[in-house]
Amino acid sequence: MSNNAYVVLLAGLALVAACPALAEVDGAALYQQHCAKCHGDDGRADNLRGKMFFAQDLADADWQARTSDEQILAAIRNGARMMSGYAGKLSAEQQQALVQVVRELRQP
């Protein structure tokens, strides 16, 4: 392989490594941007907007125990109660990252 081929290969690898689409999704930032206004920072939905829109208390241990990841993902995609869905707004990776954040909100 010539030196030019190595340079092209290395430049291609550097471009792929710098691609933001391949970067890890920041679920916590997504939650703050899209969810916290109704569900609250702690997931309890005990703020005015959460009460007004009947937002789910995501920190509730009983709700967490009886709700599957698939159900949470479906609510994120399609919406639930008065919440609009995010299927057209968030990628599959972003939606899955939000499922993980919701699971981390569980309180005893």
Residue 81: per-residue pLDDT: 87
Whether residue 62 lies inside any domain: the answer is yes
pLDDT, mean of residues 31-45: 97
Instruction: Place 1 in a pLDDT band, splitting at 50, 70 and 90.
Output: low
pLDDT category at 3 given cuts 50, 70, 90 is low
Specify the pTM: 0.77
Q: What is the pLDDT of residue 108?
A: 87
Has residue 7 been placed in a domain? no
Range of the domain at 45: 24-104
**pLDDT of 10 over the 80 cut:** no
Taking phi first (over 0 means left), then psi (-120 to 50 degrees means alpha), and beta for anything else, what does residue 43 get? left
Averaged confidence pLDDT in the chain: 87
Give domain status of residue 98, yes or no.
yes
> Residue 80: phi, psi to the nearest 5?
-155, 145
> Count of alpha carbons within 13 Å of 87, Cβ hemisphere only?
9
**How many structural domains is the chain composed of?**
1
Facing residues of 79 across strands? 84
